[in-house]
Amino acid sequence: MNQFWHSVVFSIMGYEIRGEHLIELASLFALLLSFDWLLTYWGLPAILRKFPTEAERQRQVIRRLQPLILFCTLLFWVWFSGIDPKFYERQEHWVGLSTLLQGLVIWQIARLSDLIIGRVILRGFFKKQERQKRPFLLGGQAGVERDWKVSNRYIKYVTYTLAALLLIRLFRVDLLLHQGKLGKVEYHLYISNLLIAALVILIAQLLTWLIVHLFLTGFYRRRRINIGAQYAINRLINYFIYFFAALIALHLLGVNITVIAGGAVALLVGVGIGLQQTFNDFFSGILLLFERSIEVADWVEIDGLVGKVMRIGLRTSIVQTRDNRSVIVPNSKLVVNNVTSWSHGDDVARFNVAVGVSYGSDTELVKNLLLRAAAEQVKVMENPAPFVRMVQFGNSSLDFEIHFWTDEFMFIEDLRSDIRFSIDRLFRENNIVIPFPQSDIWIKSVPNNPPAFE
């Protein structure tokens, strides 16, 4: 046995493989098989039971985990044995067997992380939300699947971008893309700079999503914060995180932030007058998000346009009209102009339908019939209850108004039409006449010799 331990079994690329190396490798593989068995039949099932994971997903985790364990085992053997054949060597840089194994480990960890974090942990989290019927912000129950796909995509981008960055550093293939000057400062742009900048932006996106959907959602639900306030808070968080992420990304690209700041000041002074309205709309958008005088999901009336606020951007807002058209409104109009909000602070509003009846009609009967017409409509709220108001003694009629509350802002004209149909039917059944305007002409005198007309 001692002779086999020190004897040379074979040689490869200048390295002598002795018996001790083979025994070490066999021992590592035995440990590998034991560890793989423990994970496959005991560890992973216990962990994955905490998440509602499909059987196919569990098999995918095992299939991606086993090559990772194999690559790690071979890498440890190379490090311990010192048998590391070099495939490429130039100056101080070389690529050997250990380098290739490290690259395989990095890539396999990226694939495994993408699967476990995105398709197991987060998938299980969203399934749990779906079972508990906790609709996410602005998405409702249908938004759960959409939000999972978005989060999974962010995690995939971050994972593989980080893996590509590590592989570039490992194999030292960080190519110089551009070399130049920005003002008096010389800078170099490498592939790694682009990847790091992209990674910062992707992490900012992922961080924004996590804050909004995983942390703030519960806070909104506990405090019962309305949709408009949620939207405003989320947008401000987005702008804050993206602003600092953009500064960090520019710095990592080798750009001097102070040079950009100085140039930006000069640029703003030069174009400020020409873009005065644009800046007005921009700061109006910031003011709307902070002040929340107009919020997302509010029903507003602007210059005769009635619609629902769907989005408040930095420069413009989108209002969806009742005929399903999207109108782009500059934010300055929402701040400076007189805007009527039908639903700000409340989800219901009061509307009315006017009607006139002939003089001599039973006004108490008219009142009861108008209340019946409103009560026949399921979209008219019972509390607050509708009421009738006698407006005035008109020239040709007694004028009444039936007032009612509803949250049916989108199709309020259809609801008014249905009430008018009911009023007309009830009035006919009870012989209540809706008069039309009439005029009496009085002729004071007729001339003795009227002119003849040919």
CATH of domain 291-341: 2.30.30.60
- C-alpha to C-alpha distance for 221 and 134, rounded to whole angstroms: 9
Phi/psi of residue 27, each to 5°?
Answer: -65, -40
Q: For residue 367, give the 3-state DSSP assignment.
A: helix
pLDDT below 70 — which residues of the chain?
A: 1-19, 21, 47-53, 91-92, 127-147, 182-185, 214, 218, 222-229, 254-283, 291, 343-347, 438-440, 443-454
pLDDT digits (tens, 9 = 90+) for 187-225: 777 888 888 888 898 888 888 877 877 677 767 776 666
The answer to whether the bond into 451 is cis (omega within 30° of 0) is no
Cβ-Cβ contacts under 8 Å for 164 (sequence gap 6 or more): 195
Q: Residue 366, Cα to own-chain centre: how many angstroms?
A: 51
Task: Look up the CATH architecture of domain 349-429.
Answer: 2-Layer Sandwich (3.30)
166 and 106 in contact (C-beta within 8 Å)?
A: yes
Cα distances from 215 to residues 137, 138, 154, 258, in angstroms, run 12, 16, 17, 35
What is the model's pLDDT at position 226? Answer: 61
Q: CATH 2.30.30.60 residue ranges in the chain?
A: 291-341
What is the model's pLDDT at position 377? Answer: 93
- C-alpha to C-alpha distance for 196 and 178, rounded to whole angstroms: 16
Q: Residue 312, Cα to own-chain centre: how many angstroms?
A: 13
267 and 214 in contact (C-beta within 8 Å)?
A: no
Q: CATH 3.30.70.100 residue ranges in the chain?
A: 349-429
SS (H, E, C) 149-179: HHHHHHHHHHHHHHHHHHHHHHHCCCCEEEE
pLDDT digits (tens, 9 = 90+) for 115-167: 888 877 777 777 666 665 554 444 444 556 666 777 788 888 899 999 999 99
Q: For residue 85, give the 3-state DSSP assignment.
A: coil
Nearest to 203 by CA among 170, 157, 165, 166: 157
Cβ count within 10 A of residue 312: 24
The residues with which 354 forms a beta bridge, in sequence order, are 401
Angle at 266 between CA 261 and CA 267, to 5 degrees: 90
Report which residue type is found at 81: S
What is the model's pLDDT at position 182? Answer: 61
- C-alpha to C-alpha distance for 6 and 368, rounded to whole angstroms: 110
What is the model's pLDDT at position 140? Answer: 46
